[in-house]
Amino acid sequence: MNSKTKNIVVFSSCPELWGGSEELWSQSVEILAKRGYKVHIFKLSVDFGHPQIKRLIALGSKITDLNEYLPSIMRRVWNRFLPHNPYRTLPFYIKRVLAKQVKSLQPELFIISQGANFDGLPFVQLCDLESIPYVIISQKAIKYLYPNDWARKFMKEMWQNSKRNYFVSHDNLKITQDQFGLKLENSEVVHNPFLTKVDEPLKWNFPDDDTIRIACVGRYYILDKGQDILLNVLAEEKWRRRNVQVSFYGRGVNEDGLKDLANYHGLDNVTFRGHTSDVLSIWQEHQALVLPARNEGLPLVVVEAMMCGRIPIVTDVGGNTEVVEDNVNGFVAGCADENSFDEALERAWERRNEWHEIGKLGAQHVRKFVSEDPAEVFAGKLEEIINTQADKQPENK
């Protein structure tokens, strides 16, 4: 790398303080920051106490909370009513401030990390206006959420003009190509970093009381994570009679709604445990992951549970079936509805005495599926693009 400081700008569209979709960009730019790159991050909500944010700041990265540019009353409206709307646009004065900052930085690369597959639109516009090379990370794609016709032309150009489009599952890439009727030649599938650094499955040390302990791990956001499906299944009489304990981990905008639904059904075998960053502790205590999601990329929690030798019970959405083989290393519901999920859960229940062995198979399989250090791999891809761009530009840029 030459003596000129190389700037990287990151935008994350995640409306939460932190989410699994943040791990790929944040861990990768941390690696690049250690190599001497100057990193500038723009995010819609920032928890400056989060360990990953603190590590980036310690490395000299500058982080801007875009919410701080909104007047307080507009901020409340923005976050309450529009946090998950992929069509929302940034207020003009945020765009003006951003345009000024980004133009002054003259970044070698702009990394747009999307929670879905076209919610980074305002930042692509900014890159086009300033002729800044960019890459797009899409952490999810929703089959039934098609772009409006008025936006399609620009969105197609967004994909085609990107230096590289990264998806976290083949399913998400296919959905996006179908939505735009466009073969995305400049695209590839990458994997998110996982937070369970274990060399082998965890020990199967559970109390000898015949209780089945299941964890449902994910943001409390029903539209994507589908926890309501699970609660409605657990309300059936057969599940009430069975010795099953279900723990919900997470936080989000539907927490009260989910708790009310559990209380409405009178479910005394359900507990809400909140958010924890200690992933291993979840799988030391629970034998299986249950994930009734309606929309996904490739959930980190599935990879992490399988790494720990715990069985996944999931829906056929996103990249779940790219890592979970039904009736072999886990159980897959054909779609995200109560009948399908009950059927998959029932099959898992009937084979509960085999879960330890099934978990071992899953742990072997998932280690072949994901690279040992996805963040290092992705950082290498970004650096290759930056270096290629530098080779094309005059030295006195």
Query: Tens digit of pLDDT for each residue in 82-95?
Result: 444 443 445 555 66
Query: Tens digit of pLDDT for each residue in 27-43?
Result: 999 999 999 999 999 88
H, E, C per residue of 313-336? EEECCCCHHHHCCECCCEEEECCC
Say if strands 164-167 and 187-189 run parallel, antiparallel, or are unpaired: parallel
**Whole-number pLDDT of residue 96:** 66
- What letter would DSSP give residue 43? E
- The token duo for 397 is 């840029």
* pLDDT surpassing 90 at residue 116: no
Give how far the C-alpha of residue 184 lies from the chain's centroid of Cα atoms, to the nearest Å.
21
- The token duo for 260 is 């009310």
- The token duo for 133 is 């090379």
- Mean pLDDT, residues 66-78: 57
Q: How far is CA 217 from CA 60, 156, 268, 361, 366, in A?
A: 33, 34, 19, 21, 18
Q: Where are the domains of the chain?
A: 7-193+373-392, 212-369
Alpha helix stretches (DSSP H) within 2-50: 23-34
Task: Sheet with 109-114: list strands edge to edge.
Answer: 62-65, 38-43, 7-12, 109-114, 134-138, 164-167, 187-189
Confidence of residue 370 (pLDDT cuts 50, 70, 90): confident
From the CB of residue 155, how many other CB atoms can be counted at a distance below 10 Å? 19
Least-confidence region, from 67-81, 142-156, 177-191, 304-318: 67-81
The model's pTM is: 0.87
DSSP letters of 150-209?
HHHHHHHHHHHHSSEEEESSHHHHHHHHHHHT---TTEEE-----S---SSPPP----SS
For domain 7-193+373-392, which CATH number applies: 1.10.240.10, 3.40.50.2000, 3.40.50.10490, 3.40.50.720? 3.40.50.2000
**Whole-number pLDDT of residue 85:** 45
Q: How far is CA 308 from CA 171, 202, 219, 301, 365, in A?
A: 25, 5, 21, 11, 12
Nearest to 42 by CA among 117, 129, 134: 134
Greater confidence (257 vs 4) lies with: 257
Domain 212-369 in the same topology as domain 7-193+373-392: yes
| Distance from C-alpha of 274 to C-alpha of 257, rounded to nearest angstrom | 14
**Whole-number pLDDT of residue 397:** 44
**Whole-number pLDDT of residue 71:** 53
Q: Which of 205-214, 259-268, 270-279 has the highest mean pLDDT?
A: 259-268
Fold of 212-369: Rossmann fold (3.40.50)
| Distance from C-alpha of 243 to C-alpha of 62, rounded to nearest angstrom | 50
Number of H helices and E strands in the chain, helices first, is 17, 13
Percent of all residues in the chain with a pLDDT value above 70, rounded to a whole number = 90
Let me know the angle formed at the C-alpha of 122 by 116 and 126, rounded to the nearest 5 degrees.
130
Query: Mean pLDDT in the chain?
Result: 88
Please compute Rg for the chain using Cα positions: 22
